[in-house]
């Protein structure tokens, strides 16, 4: 929670700075995410619920550093099935409602080409802490794992600038968080579109 508060405080500071300096920028995008690997084993449906907010600053003409917060919710209903316990003496049948709420809090670098033109492609990468909540509801029961993971991402995309401080941002990103404690690895392909300002 302290980390989130700190992140919000820094974001507000940077977004305020964005109004006064040309080296700062922000991105707010809508995300759709395709689960892969372990994540797809748990929930196979594509998520259409998510967003990314980032604030960054150019440290050279082409290289920028940013911090970002992402939120993605995966959800799937699984028709009634019978699940047996590991020791074989129990069986449970019911409909499951599965959720993943992922909140990556990352920092990264971005290499931007053609920074002074309308079309500015870029590639970047980052790493940070991923808060991932996996929950399964089944009748009156629920099972929940809420753990911080270490994760990273590579990303490619572009900005199309309508003015020097406003444009659109499109990208594709692969997110991967390592397994932690009883929680498995988390991986997803993220496609985003939104505002660059």
Partner 1 sequence: MRLIEHRVKYLNYLLFVSIPFLMFSCYPGGMEYYSDTDVVITLHDEAFDFAGNKNYFMPDTIRHIVEEGEEDEVNRIYDDEVLARIAMHLESAGYTRFESDVISDSVLVDSANVILAVVATSTEYSGVGYIPGGGYWWGWYPYGGYGGYGGGYSTSYYYPYYPYYPGYGWGYPYYYSYTTGTLFIEMGYEDGIDEVEEKIPIPWHAAVNGLLSGSLSDMQTRVDRSIDQCFEQSPYLFN
Residues that bind partner 1 (CB under 8 A): 11-12, 15, 18-19, 26, 28, 49, 51, 53, 71, 73, 75, 80, 82, 85, 87-95, 97, 99, 137-144, 163, 165-166, 195, 197
Q: How far is CA 184 from CA 36, 133, 143, 170, in A?
A: 12, 11, 15, 29
Per the structure block, which two tokens stand in for 52? Answer: 């990314």
Q: Which is nearer to partner 1, 53 or 123 (CB)?
A: 53
Q: How far is the CB of 80 from partner 1 (least distance, A)?
A: 8
Q: Which is nearer to partner 1, 60 or 85 (CB)?
A: 85
Angle at 49 (CA atoms; ends 46, 52), nearest 5 degrees: 110
Q: Which is nearer to partner 1, 95 or 111 (CB)?
A: 95
Q: Which is nearer to partner 1, 19 or 60 (CB)?
A: 19
Q: How far is the CB of 144 from partner 1 (least distance, A)?
A: 7
Handedness of CA 45, 137, 151, 67 (dihedral sign): positive
Cβ neighbors of 181 (< 8 A, separation 6 or more) are 147
């Amino acid at each position: 929670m302290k980390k989130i508060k700190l992140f919000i405080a820094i974001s507000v500071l940077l977004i305020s700075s964005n109004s006064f300096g040309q080296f700062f920028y922000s991105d707010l995008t809508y995300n759709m995410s395709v689960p892969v690997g372990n994540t797809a084993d748990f929930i196979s449906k594509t998520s259409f619920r998510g967003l990314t907010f980032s604030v960054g600053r150019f440290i050279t003409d082409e290289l920028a550093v940013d911090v970002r917060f992402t939120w993605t919710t995966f959800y799937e209903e699984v028709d009634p099935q019978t699940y047996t316990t590991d020791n074989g003496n129990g069986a449970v049948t019911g409909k499951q409602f599965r959720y993943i709420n992922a909140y990556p809090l990352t920092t990264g670098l971005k290499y931007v080409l053609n920074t002074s033109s309308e079309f500015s492609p870029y590639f970047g990468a980052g790493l940070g802490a991923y808060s991932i909540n996996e929950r399964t509801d089944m009748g009156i029961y629920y099972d929940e794992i809420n753990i911080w993971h270490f994760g990273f991402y590579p990303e490619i995309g572009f900005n199309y600038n309508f003015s020097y401080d406003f444009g659109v941002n499109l990208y594709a990103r692969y997110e991967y968080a390592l397994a932690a404690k009883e929680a498995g690895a988390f991986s997803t392909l993220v496609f985003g579109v939104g505002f660059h300002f």
